[in-house]
Chains A and B, each alone.
Chain A
Amino acid sequence: MTKIKRTSKVKQKKLKIQDLAKIRDKAKALMTIRDGEGRGKVTVHMGTCGIAAGAREIMDALLDQLSKSRVKDMIVTTSGCAGFCNREPMATVELKGQPPVKYIDLTPAKMRKIVEKHILDGRLVAEYALAIGSETVY
């Protein structure tokens, strides 16, 4: 088990109710790429299912390929289980101006190809993709 890191060295200020809204807006702006400056966002899904299927290797390949290609404006993040457990490892790539694309059955090699073709060149890799868009929420 990894050590639990504190998010900041300085003791975090305790929130009041109005602070919640401020954090919400700030965090949302950082997370969505639409109004931000970044090129886009990649989420590697890491629940126990994903990790068991090899999500950590996918993450390593992703970070390595991004660094090799000198991409610095991509947000890379993780999430918990994305639900479709038998198609893990999965990753979602969302570029500015395009719908999010869910990739399934990934291998490190496929992830690298997605970096080259989708992230750098803007063309989604249809043969690795499950679907575009997001899930329906109530």
Chain B
Amino acid sequence: MVCAGTGCVSCESFKIKEALEKEIQKKKLQNEVLVIATGCNGFCERGPILLVQPEGIFYQRLKVEDVPRLVEEHLLKGRPVKKLMYVPPAEKAPVPKMKDIEFFKHQRLLVLRNRGRIDPEKIEEYIAFEGYEAMAKVLTKMTPEEIIAEISASGLRGRGGAGFLTGKKWEVCRKEKRTPKYIICNGDEGDPGAFMDRSLLEADPHAVLEGMVIGAKAIGVEKGFIYIRHEYPLALQRMEIAIRQAKDYGLLGKNILDTGFNFDVEVVQGAGAFVSGEETALIASVEGRIGNPRQRPPYPAQKGYMGMPTTINNVETWATVPNIIRRGAAWFASLGTETSKGTKIFSLVGKINNTGLVEVPMGISLRDVIYGIGGGIPDGRKFKAVQIGGPSGGCIPAKLLDLPIDYESLTGAGAMMGSGGMIVMDDKTCMVDVAKYFLNFLRDESCGKCVSCREGTQRMWEIVKAITEGQGKPSDIELLQELATATMDGSMCGLGQTAANPILSTLRYFKREFETHIKEKRCPAGVCLALIQYEVIPDRCTGCLACKTACPKDAIRGTLKEVHTIEQDKCIKCGACFEACRFEAIETLRDEAIRIVERAR
């Protein structure tokens, strides 16, 4: 077992693995000896580490030259090589190893390989871990056709949401004869709950730059733009620093690495519109115009920035490119599923124990992500749904938890890979409320150009809002589905075309919840304010005054040691009393005495 922790990898443990495999083939031991890469054992100081089982023998500080002797002596003749051995200290460390921590052990860092180990404001540290080597190879040893062939062979699909084959996109633009051509990095990341691109730009900006130079060579481009939304000041700052340092070193700009290739890049700041993440709206924004989408075709590859051929890719897509060149397309294609190759970064948030940024191989099940990496649902609550793909995506219910994460499976279930936002919801989440939230978001962010989107999102939101307020009608569900179709069919861009997904997805799996709101005027999850009320449980109340003190509206009656009551006509349902009571209950180990019930009629 060859250690593939970042410590050992930076000491070339992958080269050792390849040498091992080759040597084992040579000695015809491949049926008896299996070589696998494992997580970090914690002996980083002694790496590269090799563990031979079942004997449990550790080899340390290996070099590629040691491999033939190791295979000959230990694997073939059964004599462990004492000089290379390592005996771990006898006492077990009281602290667990990284590879045993649920959050980290299912992850496989590829695009995030530099996470936590380099200072993004020091280009030397990026170079220390093979940074810009892929670019050097591309600029000196590969033709544009070869680069595109490699990207196509890898099966890389756009990581921004639509999942279009990157190699194909580049090829179309490369064939365009008109110049100048452009490339753009889409760092607009507007989905609520998504922060993969922000993290990547803040932690490893050079990965994006290197990918863009490679793409520029492949497509025949000399100028690129990096569009970062205004709400990401740290990402903007670190990208500017990275560009400055790369230019100083001659890794960007004129005559890169003395190869005669020119490519310059400019950072453009977004202005706060979700729709500017749509490629034609983004181009308009870069041109200095209002971020409104336009009709396609012609696609940006034919007519983009300033009407010239332009390739736009997401931050994560650009950052994946150097890794494909560095490790090879075949290796990349060996990860993931048949149709979805490689790894994907997700932002795991919501009602989950472990939140953060996770990179997993495509094909991993939702269950492994939520219960493995995520550590399950906090407070002993039950999983209800996971929202994937942002406002254009959908909710996946518990019965589909064994779904593999890949483009087709998620679309088939009514959701979407999207840019990678994963919002976990528990049984105290109201799905009607969720639909209302996303519809409101889209309604607000719609540019307004198309009647179907502008009016469709407005009406759908109004109807769902009415349902959450107990004003729903039985005919609403059919009307919503009709509106959904109209909105999707009539809209010109992705925002409108997917604007109905929040309602379609929640209706598909949670129709009963909608019907309960409409017919019974009840919110089972206890969320929709108009349908709930807070009340004190008399036999549990100890009269501690905690809720009364917390109430901002003076709506609770009762004195010390007397059972409190909530005056419903004054109550604004802020929940402060509920939180105060829980706090007291925890302090004194009593059961909480305030609960949420259906509104009395």
B99 pairs with A138, CB closer than 8 A: no
> Which of A27, A85, A92, A137 contacts B113, CB < 8 Å?
A137
B119 pairs with A134, CB closer than 8 A: no
Of residues 11 through 54 on chain A, the ones whose CB sits less than 8 Å from some CB of chain B are 11-17, 20, 23-24, 26-28, 30-32, 34, 43, 45, 47-49, 51
B6 pairs with A137, CB closer than 8 A: yes
Chain A residues positioned under 8 Å from B327 (CB to CB): 138
Chain A residues positioned under 8 Å from B343 (CB to CB): 138
Of residues 94 through 147 on chain B, the ones whose CB sits less than 8 Å from some CB of chain A are 94-101, 103-105, 107-110, 112-113, 115-125, 127-133, 136, 140
Q: Does A79 contact B (CB under 8 A)?
A: yes
> Which of B107, B120, B244 contacts A4, CB < 8 Å?
B244
Q: A80-B203, A84-B354 are in contact. Are A17 and B245 (CB under 8 A)?
A: no
Q: A7-B245, A96-B45, A134-B7 are in contact. Are A43 and B109 (CB under 8 A)?
A: no
Chain B residues positioned under 8 Å from A134 (CB to CB): 5-8, 40, 44, 98, 117
Q: Does A69 contact B (CB under 8 A)?
A: no
Q: Footprint of A on B, CB under 8 Å?
A: 4-10, 37-45, 93-101, 103-105, 107-110, 112-113, 115-125, 127-133, 136, 140, 195, 198-199, 202-204, 232-234, 236-238, 240-241, 244-245, 248-251, 255, 257-258, 327, 335, 343, 354-358
> Which of B98, B203, B237, B255 contacts A135, CB < 8 Å?
B98
Q: Does A109 contact B (CB under 8 A)?
A: no
Q: Does A82 contact B (CB under 8 A)?
A: yes
Instruction: Please indicate which of the listed interface residues B38, B232, B244, B335 has the most CB atoms of chain A within 10 Å of its own CB.
Output: B244
B112 pairs with A83, CB closer than 8 A: yes
Q: List 17 A-B contacts (CB under 8 A).
A: A1-B236, A14-B249, A15-B250, A16-B258, A28-B128, A28-B129, A84-B354, A85-B355, A99-B45, A100-B44, A131-B96, A131-B101, A132-B42, A132-B93, A133-B44, A136-B99, A137-B4
Q: A17-B257, A28-B10, A102-B98 are in contact. Are A80 and B202 (CB under 8 A)?
A: yes
Q: Footprint of B on A, CB under 8 Å?
A: 1-2, 4, 6-7, 11-17, 20, 23-24, 26-28, 30-32, 34, 43, 45, 47-49, 51, 77-87, 92, 94, 96-102, 124, 126, 129-138
- Report Cα–Cα, A83/B114, bound state, in Å: 11
Q: Closest CB-CB distance, A86 to chain B, in whole Å?
A: 4
B119 pairs with A79, CB closer than 8 A: yes
- Report Cα–Cα, A77/B116, bound state, in Å: 10
Q: Closest CB-CB distance, A110 to chain B, in whole Å?
A: 15
Q: A45-B116, A100-B44 are in contact. Are A136 and B140 (CB under 8 A)?
A: no
Q: Which residue of B lies closest to A84 (CB)?
A: B356
A79 pairs with B120, CB closer than 8 A: yes
A77 pairs with B119, CB closer than 8 A: yes
What are the nearest 9 A-B pairs in CB distance? A80-B203, A14-B250, A133-B40, A27-B128, A85-B356, A133-B98, A134-B5, A82-B116, A12-B248
Chain A residues positioned under 8 Å from B40 (CB to CB): 99, 133-136
- Report Cα–Cα, A99/B3, bound state, in Å: 14
Chain A residues positioned under 8 Å from B136 (CB to CB): 17, 20
Chain A residues positioned under 8 Å from B240 (CB to CB): 4
- Report Cα–Cα, A51/B237, bound state, in Å: 14
B103 pairs with A136, CB closer than 8 A: no
B354 pairs with A86, CB closer than 8 A: yes
Chain B residues positioned under 8 Å from A48 (CB to CB): 195, 198-199, 202, 232, 234
- Report Cα–Cα, A87/B102, bound state, in Å: 14
- Report Cα–Cα, A4/B116, bound state, in Å: 22
Q: Which residue of B lies closest to A126 (CB)?
A: B94
Q: Closest CB-CB distance, A31 to chain B, in whole Å?
A: 6
Instruction: Please indicate which of the listed interface residues B120, B123, B249 has the most CB atoms of chain A within 10 Å of its own CB.
Output: B249
- Report Cα–Cα, A45/B130, bound state, in Å: 22
Chain A residues positioned under 8 Å from B132 (CB to CB): 20
Chain A residues positioned under 8 Å from B199 (CB to CB): 47-49, 80-81
A80 pairs with B120, CB closer than 8 A: yes
Chain B residues positioned under 8 Å from A96 (CB to CB): 45
Chain B residues positioned under 8 Å from A82 (CB to CB): 115-116
Q: Closest CB-CB distance, B45 to chain A, in whole Å?
A: 6
Q: Closest CB-CB distance, A56 to chain B, in whole Å?
A: 12
Q: A6-B244, A48-B198 are in contact. Are A83 and B358 (CB under 8 A)?
A: yes
- Report Cα–Cα, A102/B118, bound state, in Å: 15
Q: Which residue of A lies closest to B104 (CB)?
A: A135
B110 pairs with A138, CB closer than 8 A: yes
A81 pairs with B248, CB closer than 8 A: no
